[in-house]
């Protein structure tokens, strides 16, 4: 089988997958984006379609208001950029019902590392293609990266408890109510006992196999595995651990880990896992979803083949996202959807006084994930009748500490460019005096190494605004780039046209 990695390019970390009636369904983390938990489908593991997202219907119960971002300086001089929100969903199918279990990481008022809590929730549907999901069942068990195991008539949750140690706990639950039937029990501390997380249990050949991620989600990331004849342990680790890691290699695909093993329609085993594409210290796309073949003989340990990789831009991942489909659009945190109207490439939004640097409020922003390493994003901004105190434009956004924006300030009659990365103490801005009658266009041209920002007024010539090296936007982070339009002002209607990403 010939496929191109990453199978889900762009902002797509922590994949989980299951096979339902001959179709694969894959979900990933979404952190601060709304709607959350995107769903991708495939019949052949080669071509994929983004069919929607799974934000729980009851947003008051699963709120993204505190999906803020911590900056945590490390001793090596780098900074951990840790965003809250929806972490590491697991998707499973049992007796005609599809379940997703996920963590909502809620940051505290101080917005400092350590001031956070987590909630687990489960949603389900009898028709995953319909997009109709149940209300969330919430249980307040601390931890991250929950997984589900259906074993005969019982249901179990595996969960990573974080703290000084990252350890894996197992508990039996009532899947209808979320009530714990047994208390959480420690079943494994991990192979290297460092950031043991992302657990999944598989029952195969009379064994319970426990797959985990270890080493942290950056350069030391890895997959490890253990097994036991008894679900509750003790678990023995694989003598060949790590099951897979790119650490210490010169492979293009690095930081590989947090995977989910699965069997295809022909009995072949695979693993979906997260990783980054790293070139000369740059990984502008962040954590993406990759596919690797697995050899798993009966009664034996599995082995993972290194993910197939290519740097040939003519061999692109096959991901179908209709430009006019609503599934592509995302907002920040708990967005007020009444402020937005989209018709194809035309967008109308009601500007808000909330700035891009806001840690918890929802900026008047609508955009799409960047999917291509090399491409162009562009939009036209139309002159409003009463533009008092309005800024509006185009932005490449990762979080409230890291974004690049080009906009028009109607008060000052200036095109303004701003580059902000609080993790690297980058704060740069430039302004250009510009007047226009009907419209002004903005453009971002991106490659693996650079980001170039331009503008043109009233169909005139394109003018260069600024350029940035993508190495300045490669951090120890959880999120990936989203490109969209925004408006900052007091409830002014802002009209955009010709919006495109990855053209």
Q: What is the pLDDT, as a whole number, of residue 298? A: 96
What digits encode the pLDDT tens for the residues 384-402? 887 678 999 999 999 999 9
Q: What is the pLDDT, as a whole number, of residue 58? A: 57
Q: What is the pLDDT, as a whole number, of residue 315? A: 55
Which residues, 6+ apart, have CB-to-CB distance to 385 below 8 Å? none
- pLDDT beyond 90 at 310: no
Least confident of 113-117, 268-272, 414-418: 113-117
Neighbours of 305 (CB within 10 A): 12
User: Is 29 in contact with 88 (CB distance < 8 Å)?
Assistant: yes
Long-range contacts, stretch 425-431, CB < 8 angstroms, 24+ apart: 426/472, 428/466, 430/465, 430/466
E-strand spans in 33-84?
33-34, 38-42, 47-53, 69-73, 79-83
- pLDDT beyond 90 at 112: no
- Torsional sign, CA 5, 8, 14, 15: negative
Tell me the β-bridge partners of 205. Answer: none
User: Is 452 in contact with 403 (CB distance < 8 Å)?
Assistant: no
- pLDDT beyond 70 at 59: no
Token pair for 88 = 């590491």
Which residues, 6+ apart, have CB-to-CB distance to 225 below 8 Å? 209, 210, 211, 212, 237, 238, 241, 243, 301, 302
Q: What is the pLDDT, as a whole number, of residue 88? A: 97
Query: In whole angstroms, what is the distance from residue 482 CA to residue 374 CA?
Result: 14
Looking at every residue in the chain, the average pLDDT score rounds to: 93
163-198 as b/e: b if 16+ CB within 10 A: eeebbbbbbbbebeebeeeeebeebbbbbeeebbbb
Query: In whole angstroms, what is the distance from residue 102 CA to residue 183 CA?
Result: 19
Q: What is the pLDDT, as a whole number, of residue 314? A: 55
**Residues involved in catalysis:** 14, 197
Query: In whole angstroms, what is the distance from residue 28 CA to residue 39 CA?
Result: 7
Query: In whole angstroms, what is the distance from residue 494 CA to residue 363 CA?
Result: 14
Query: In whole angstroms, what is the distance from residue 155 CA to residue 90 CA?
Result: 14
How many H-runs (helices) and E-runs (strands) does the chain carry?
A: 0, 39
- With bands split at pLDDT 50, 70 and 90, how would you rate the model's confidence at 282? very high
**Position of tokens 């996202």?**
321
DSSP 382-448: EPPSS-TT-EEEEEEEEETTEEEEEEEETTTTEEEEEEEETTTTEEEEEEEE---SSEEEEEEEE-S
- With bands split at pLDDT 50, 70 and 90, how would you rate the model's confidence at 176? very high
Percent of the chain beyond pLDDT 90?
85
Q: What is the pLDDT, as a whole number, of residue 311? A: 73
What digits encode the pLDDT tens for the residues 131-174? 889 999 998 899 999 999 999 989 999 999 998 889 999 999 99
Q: Which has more pLDDT, 164 or 414?
A: 414
Q: Which of 166, 146, 114 is nearest to 14 (CA)?
A: 146
- With bands split at pLDDT 50, 70 and 90, how would you rate the model's confidence at 114? confident
User: Is 299 in contact with 205 (CB distance < 8 Å)?
Assistant: yes
Percent of the chain beyond pLDDT 70?
96
Q: What is the pLDDT, as a whole number, of residue 360? A: 82
**Position of tokens 């050949």?**
205
- With bands split at pLDDT 50, 70 and 90, how would you rate the model's confidence at 320? confident
Phi-psi region of 326 (alpha: psi -120 to 50; beta: other; left: phi over 0): alpha
- Torsional sign, CA 471, 472, 476, 478: negative
Q: Which of 331, 339, 367, 398 is nearest to 55 (CA)?
A: 331
- With bands split at pLDDT 50, 70 and 90, how would you rate the model's confidence at 277? very high
User: Is 224 in contact with 192 (CB distance < 8 Å)?
Assistant: yes
The angle at the Cα of 457, spanning 453 to 460, to the nearest 5 degrees, equals 100
Token pair for 390 = 């309005």
Query: In whole angstroms, what is the distance from residue 194 CA to residue 203 CA?
Result: 25
- pLDDT beyond 70 at 322: no
User: Is 474 in contact with 281 (CB distance < 8 Å)?
Assistant: yes
pTM of the model: 0.95
């Amino acid at each position: 089988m010939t496929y191109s990695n990453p199978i889900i390019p762009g902002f797509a970390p922590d994949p989980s997958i299951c096979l339902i009636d001959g179709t694969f369904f894959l979900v990933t983390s979404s952190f601060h984006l709304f709607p959350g938990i995107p769903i991708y489908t495939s019949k052949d593991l080669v071509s994929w379609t983004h069919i929607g997202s799974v934000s729980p219907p009851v947003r008051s119960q699963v709120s993204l208001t505190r999906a803020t971002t911590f900056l945590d300086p490390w001793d090596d001089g780098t900074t951990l950029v840790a965003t809250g929100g929806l972490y590491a969903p697991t998707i499973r199918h049992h007796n005609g019902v599809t379940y997703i279990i996920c963590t909502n990481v809620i940051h505290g008022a101080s917005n400092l590392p350590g001031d956070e809590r987590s909630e687990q929730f489960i949603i389900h549907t009898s028709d995953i293609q319909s997009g109709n999901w149940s209300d969330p069942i919430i249980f307040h068990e601390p931890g991250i990266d929950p997984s589900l195991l259906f074993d005969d008539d019982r249901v179990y949750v595996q969960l990573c408890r974080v703290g000084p140690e990252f350890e894996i706990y197992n508990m039996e639950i009532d899947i209808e109510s979320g009530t714990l039937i047994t208390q959480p029990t420690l079943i494994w501390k991990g192979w290297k006992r460092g950031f043991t997380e992302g657990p999944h249990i598989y029952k195969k050949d009379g064994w319970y196999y426990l797959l985990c991620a270890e080493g942290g989600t950056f350069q030391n990331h890895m997959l490890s595995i253990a097994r036991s004849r008894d679900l509750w342990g003790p678990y023995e680790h694989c003598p060949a651990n790590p099951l897979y890691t790119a650490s210490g290699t010169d492979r293009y695909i690095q930081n590989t880990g947090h995977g989910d093993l699965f069997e295809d329609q022909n009995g072949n085993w695979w693993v979906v896992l997260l990783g980054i594409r790293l070139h000369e210290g740059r990984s502008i796309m962040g954590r993406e979803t990759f596919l690797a073949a697995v050899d798993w003989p009966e009664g034996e340990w599995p082995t993972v083949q290194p993910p197939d990789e290519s740097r040939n831009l003519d061999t692109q991942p096959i991901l179908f996202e209709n430009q006019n489909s609503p599934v592509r659009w995302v907002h920040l945190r708990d967005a007020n959807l009444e402020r937005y109207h989209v018709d194809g490439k035309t967008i109308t939004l009601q500007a808000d006084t909330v700035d891009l640097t806001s840690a918890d409020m929802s900026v008047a922003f609508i955009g799409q994930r960047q999917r291509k390493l090399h491409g162009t994003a562009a939009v036209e901004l139309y002159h409003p009748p009463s533009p008092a105190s309005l800024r509006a434009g185009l932005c490449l956004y990762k979080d409230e500490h890291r974004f690049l924006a080009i906009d028009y300030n109607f008060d000052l009659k200036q095109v303004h460019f701003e580059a902000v990365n609080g993790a690297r103490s980058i704060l740069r801005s430039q302004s250009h005096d510009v007047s226009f009658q009907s419209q002004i266009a903005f453009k971002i041209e991106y490659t693996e190494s650079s980001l170039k920002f331009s503008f043109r007024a009233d169909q005139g010539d394109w003018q260069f605004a600024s350029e940035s090296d993508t190495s300045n936007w490669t951090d120890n982070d959880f999120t990936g780039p989203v490109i969209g339009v925004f408006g900052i002002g007091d409830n002014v209607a802002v009209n955009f046209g010709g919006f495109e990403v990855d053209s």
